[in-house]
């Protein structure tokens, strides 16, 4: 990594600037005139600067803009709970989708409150009740069937096989896999050494890989060089397209994710997708005796409650697990 340009370092002491707070009355006047559009722009710019996921920022822009359009509200101080109910009523979607959008709007309003632009958290009591769907992990037999069906003499299917096995063996998100570079893969040690820049919670991960995946990655990374030279591309991504470019061109456009959906339809495999593979990894660890804290760490979760939802257990499984401690 190159050293930071010394000309960009400011040596003057400016620590005494901006420490005086605005008078409370003046802050209130500023808050009363804050347009929703300006608040959204300011908050998303800050999120970009602090490393939030592109998908999260995109959701803020999409749902807050839609809220403003449906309700016709222009300024934050005009907002009421009725506006939120009006917005929710306008949607012809499932309650689960409404809840997801509502959480996004609440998160935006929470930031506005923290910045002093909104005086009360009037939205906190608004909620939508939904039945939590049971999401199961991918079964190993289905993964093995798919891997057997893929033609490893074809570059794209070799790449997809490596991605599938990696998600199932390491629990990595498909977005992280799209950003994985050669420097993150140690074939000899059979280890992924991932820096926090491509992980959702920005924490480093060291994850072991099995013999089969190590062999696939070794062949894939050498074939990548051939593909890049042919297409005159310069990058170090482990997973690339047949044209030599990155597999993800945006938060909602991931080539590997689309390929998995295609395979699931083509071969009649109902639970082959990135989230199912990730859940399958977590359940596999649990079945082999790993504790929830270790699984949470491997998944890169900041909240162990999220891990618990990944490991949905039926009553019989809970009883069997408790029996071991009697």
Residue 237 lies in a domain: yes
The pLDDT of 260-282, averaged and rounded, is 90
147 & 224 share domain: yes
Position 150 scores a pLDDT of 93
Q: What is the mean pLDDT of the chain?
A: 84
Among the ranges given (33-37, 224-228, 288-292), the one the predictor scored with the smallest mean pLDDT: 288-292
171 and 104 co-located in one domain: no
- 152 and 70 inside one domain: no
Q: Exposed, middle or buried: residue 47 (CB in 10 Å: 0-12, 13-18, 19+)?
A: middle
Q: Is 98 exposed, middle or buried (0-12, 13-18, 19+ CB in 10 A)?
A: middle
Instruction: Give per-residue pLDDT as tens, 172-218.
Output: 989 899 999 999 999 999 999 998 788 777 788 899 999 999 999 99
pLDDT band at 324 (very low <50, low <70, confident <90, very high): low
As for how many domains the chain has, the answer is 2
- Do 232 and 300 belong together in one domain? yes
Residue 287 resides in a domain:
yes
At 77, which CATH number? 1.10.150
Structural contact between residues 256 and 199, judged by C-beta atoms closer than 8 angstroms: no
Q: Per the structure block, which two tokens stand in for 109?
A: 């309003």
In a domain, 4, yes or no: no
Percent of the chain topping pLDDT 70:
81
106 and 160 fall within a common domain: no
Whole-number Å distance between alpha carbons of 198 and 181: 10
Residue 317 pLDDT exceeds 60? no
pLDDT at 192: 94
pLDDT at 3: 47
The Cα-based distances of 275 to 25, 68, 176, 185 in angstroms read: 49, 32, 13, 22
Tell whether 171 and 107 lie within a shared domain. no
Q: Looking at the domain assignment, is residue 282 inside a domain? A: yes
Tell me, yes or no, whether 288 lies in a domain: yes
Rounded to 10°, the helix 36-49/54-71 angle is: 180
pLDDT score of 17: 55
Whether residue 304 sits in one domain with residue 266: yes
Q: Is residue 65 part of a domain?
A: yes
Q: Do 47 and 192 belong together in one domain?
A: no
Element (H, E) at 253: strand 253-254
User: Which pLDDT score, from 0 to 100, does residue 319 have?
Assistant: 55
Domain co-membership, 35 together with 83: yes
Asked, for residue 1, whether it belongs to a domain, the answer is no
From 66-80, 126-140, 189-203, 215-229, the region with the lowest mean pLDDT: 126-140
Q: Is residue 133 pLDDT above 90, yes or no?
A: no
Residue 124 clears pLDDT 70, i.e. is over it? yes
CA separation for the pair 317, 79 (Å, rounded): 47
- Mean pLDDT within 266-295: 86
Full domain range(s) for residue 31: 23-114
Per-residue pLDDT band for 326 (boundaries 50, 70, 90) equals low
Give the model's pLDDT for residue 66.
96
DSSP 239: S
pLDDT at 30: 44
Residue 101 confidence (pLDDT) above 60: yes
What CATH number does residue 254 fall under? 1.10.443.10
pLDDT of 48: 92
Higher pLDDT, 312 or 90: 90
More confident residue, 128 or 252: 128
Identify whether 221 is part of a domain: yes
More confident residue, 134 or 118: 118
Do 151 and 105 belong together in one domain?
Answer: no
What is the predicted pLDDT for the residue at 283? 85
> What average pLDDT does this structure show over 307-315?
64
Instruction: Please tell me whether residues 91 and 161 are part of one structural domain.
Output: no
Please report, in angstroms and rounded to a whole number, the separation of the first and last CA atoms in the chain: 54
Query: How would DSSP label each residue in 21-86?
Result: PPPHHHHHHHHHT-BHHHHHHHHHHHHHHTT--HHHHHHHHHHHHHHHHHH---BGGG--HHHHHH
Mark whether 42 and 99 lie in a shared domain: yes
What is the Cα–Cα distance from 231 to 102, expressed in whole angstroms? 44
pLDDT in tens, 5-56: 444 454 556 555 545 444 444 444 344 479 999 999 999 999 999 888 888 9
pLDDT at 29: 39
């Amino acid at each position: 990594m190159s050293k930071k340009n010394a000309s960009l370092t400011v040596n003057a002491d400016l620590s005494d600037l901006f420490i005086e707070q605005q008078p409370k009355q003046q802050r209130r006047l500023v808050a009363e005139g804050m347009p929703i559009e300006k608040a959204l722009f300011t908050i998303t710019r800050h999120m970009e600067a602090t490393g939030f996921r592109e998908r999260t920022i995109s959701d803020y822009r999409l749902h807050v803009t839609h809220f403003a359009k449906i309700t016709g509200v222009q300024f934050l101080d005009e907002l009421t709970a009725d506006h939120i109910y009006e917005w929710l009523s306008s949607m012809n979607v499932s309650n689960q989708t409404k809840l997801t959008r509502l959480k996004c709007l609440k998160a935006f309003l929470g930031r506005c409150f923290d910045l002093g632009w909104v005086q009360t958290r009037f939205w906190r009591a608004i909620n939508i009740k939904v039945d939590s769907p049971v999401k199961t992990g991918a079964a190993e037999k289905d993964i093995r069937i798919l891997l057997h069906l893929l033609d490893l003499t074809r570059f794209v299917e070799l790449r997809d096989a490596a991605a599938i096995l990696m998600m199932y063996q390491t629990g990595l998100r498909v977005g992280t896999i799209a950003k994985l570079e050669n420097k993150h893969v140690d074939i000899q040690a059979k280890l992924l050494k991932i820096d926090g820049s491509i992980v959702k919670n920005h924490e480093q991960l060291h994850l072991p890989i099995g013999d089969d995946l190590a062999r696939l990655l070794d062949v894939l990374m050498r074939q990548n060089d051939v593909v890049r030279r042919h297409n005159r591309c310069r990058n170090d991504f482990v997973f690339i397209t047949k044209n030599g470019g990155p597999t993800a061109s945006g938060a909602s456009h991931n080539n590997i994710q689309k390929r998995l959906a295609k395979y699931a339809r083509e071969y009649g495999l109902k639970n082959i997708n990135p989230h199912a593979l990730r859940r399958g990894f977590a359940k596999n660890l649990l079945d082999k005796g790993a504790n929830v804290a270790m699984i949470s760490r491997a998944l890169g979760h900041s909240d162990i409650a999220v891990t618990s939802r990944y490991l949905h257990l039926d009553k019989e499984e809970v009883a069997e697990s408790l029996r071991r401690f009697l």
